[in-house]
Amino acid sequence: MITLKNIYKSYKSKPVLTGINLQIESGEFIVLIGPSGCGKTTLLKMINKLVPVDKGDVIIDGVPIKQIVDTKLRRSMGYVVQEGGLFPHMTVAENIGQILKITGTEKKEREARVDELLNMVELPPESYRDLYPSQLSGGQQQRVGVARAFSVNPEIILMDEPFSALDPVTRSELQDEIFRLQKKFSKTIVFVTHDIDEAIKLASRICIMHEGQIVQCDTPENTLKNPADDYVRQFIGRNRLWENPEFIKARDIMKTKPFCISRNRSLFQAVQMMNQNSVDSLLVTEHGKLEGILRLKDIRRIPDYKIPLAKYISTDTISVYEDTDLKKIINHLDDNFSGIIPVVSHENKLLGYITKSGLLAALSKQYEPDEQISYERNGTL
């Protein structure tokens, strides 16, 4: 766990960081993002003591880093920078194995570890270990940089715009790669970027910085749905939420308080309830759990309304979980959909419902100007 406690930094008399507080849990993928000059690199470099703090503390697993020897601290963390930061006069293997060598790992063991790391970043060791950085593409150099950062199996890896100089395809490949590696080895990663799409793709939490402060630090989903202020709203940009429909869940667009009835009631009572509320279907529930749907069209021709409704319940209804995303909901619908989709918890408790008109209203929100978008949880858009 990394704790940044009330951190201040100025260069000459110019304040660069003014009161940074952040707790990073082990295994988190934190992305620092913000405009040029807002202090991202300065903050990142404070974690490995490349930049000293003026005031405040960086604490790692309960130990203030000012109590740890600089070189020991730096060797215990991976660090990847934009240009790869490889030594041009060393081979790929020497670059990756450098810290292992300094810390006294034997040659045989070191070579085996270098090969393992090259395989991890998908560079076949036989082809790459003896090349020099100048013989590699930008993407390959970054892969070597990532392999080197993993070399001593550190808990924490710091990455400063590691992929920003790469073409979009290579960049996307490396994003997938680092995401996979982070999940597999559950490292704590602090990653700086300028690119909000990269942040959304990778982060467990996105920290948005502005003029030396953190203005919001939250999951990508919450950041998109509930921007803390106008600055964040502007920063993430118009329609970003709609470009990531997996973040829009059934519970965000459902209506609550569906019209429900128990299976023990009669058809007469059901029809009366439909008439009173001007609906053509009722959701049948028992102790709050969804059993099915009763549709007016299925009972219209029944001569005797005194009989129990149980026999006429349709159980073929498609329901969705509260956390089913918009993409899946739309895929669920067939062209003839005209009724309602019940929304249930994973325990099958009925929570609400989605209508076609509600869905269309939600979808049309993306065409409204930015300032009119208001997103309410547990309500309609």
Ligand X SMILES: Nc1ncnc2c1ncn2[C@@H]1O[C@H](COP(=O)(O)OP(=O)(O)OP(=O)(O)O)[C@@H](O)[C@H]1O
Would you count residue 82 as binding ligand X (CB under 6 A)?
no
Q: Which does 36 bind (CB under 5 to 8 A by kind): Mg ion, ligand X, none?
A: ligand X
Q: Which of 30, 42, 136, 261 binds ligand X (CB under 6 A)?
A: 42
Q: Which of 6, 11, 70, 376 binds ligand X (CB under 6 A)?
A: 11
322 CB burial (10 A radius; 0-12, 13-18, 19+): middle
Q: Residue 11: beta bridge partners?
A: 14
Q: Which of 31, 41, 240, 290 binds Mg ion (CB under 5 A)?
A: 41
d(CA 229, CA 88): 45
Q: Which does 11 bind (CB under 5 to 8 A by kind): Mg ion, ligand X, none?
A: ligand X
Interacting positions 291-310 with Mg ion (CB under 5 A): none
Q: Which of 41, 141, 281, 355 binds ligand X (CB under 6 A)?
A: 41
Would you count residue 281 as binding Mg ion (CB under 5 A)?
no
Beta-carbon contacts of residue 14 (< 8 Å; ≥ 6 apart): none
Judged by beta carbon, residue 208 or residue 267, the one nearer ligand X is 208
Shortest distance, position 44 Cβ to Mg ion, whole Å: 8
Q: Which does 37 bind (CB under 5 to 8 A by kind): ligand X, Mg ion, none?
A: ligand X
Instruction: Tell me the angle at which helices 92-102 and 107-120 cross, rounded to the nearest 10 degrees.
Output: 130
Q: Which residue is nearest to Mg ion (CB)?
A: 41
Three-class DSSP category at 292: strand
d(CA 159, CA 144): 13
Interacting positions 282-301 with ligand X (CB under 6 A): none
Residue 52 has phi, psi (to 5 degrees) of -80, 150
Nearest to 64 by CA among 145, 3, 130: 3
Length of the chain as a residue count: 381
- Specify the pairing of strand 188-193 against strand 63-64: unpaired
Shortest distance, position 224 Cβ to ligand X, whole Å: 22
Instruction: List residues binding ligand X (CB under 6 A).
Output: 11, 16, 34, 36-42, 194
